[in-house]
Amino acid sequence: GENVEQHPSTLSVQEGDSAVIKCTYSDSASNYFPWYKQELGKRPQLIIDIRSNVGEKKDQRIAVTLNKTAKHFSLHITETQPEDSAVYFCAAFEEYGNKLVFGAGTILRVKS
């Protein structure tokens, strides 16, 4: 089955700096890669996603890149703000299993 590894486990940045979180996946058949943000005590919320036929996607201050050959994808947050502080989970959709496989999560702290 699919296995998703996520790094780093914690990331502290100064407000205004950029943050990058990286994930690797094992199953080349996985074709959909969402990123979820979960604030303390809240539900996971989809912030951006990418399909396997796309290399990069951007939405304002966040972007995701995908390298299918290397089987890794990354989340980029620019001009970080304190409200970006949260746990971020990457995931890969295992189509034949019809399920999302999550990475272990990254705790992002933005210091003001």
78 vs 95, which CB is nearer to other proteins? 95
Whether the upstream peptide bond of residue 44 has omega within 30° of 0, thus cis, is no
Q: Closest separation between CB of residue 105 and other proteins, Å?
A: 5
Identify the H or E element spanning 63: strand 62-67
Q: Closest separation between CB of residue 91 and other proteins, Å?
A: 8
| DSSP bridge partners of 77 | 19, 62
71 vs 78, which CB is nearer to other proteins? 71
How many other CB atoms sit within 10 Å of the CB of residue 38? 14
What residues line the site for other proteins (CB under 8 A)? 31-32, 34, 36, 42-46, 49, 51, 87, 89, 93, 95, 97-100, 102-105, 107
Q: Closest separation between CB of residue 32 and other proteins, Å?
A: 5
Residue reference for tokens 């502290």: 12
Pair of tokens at residue 42: 């809240």
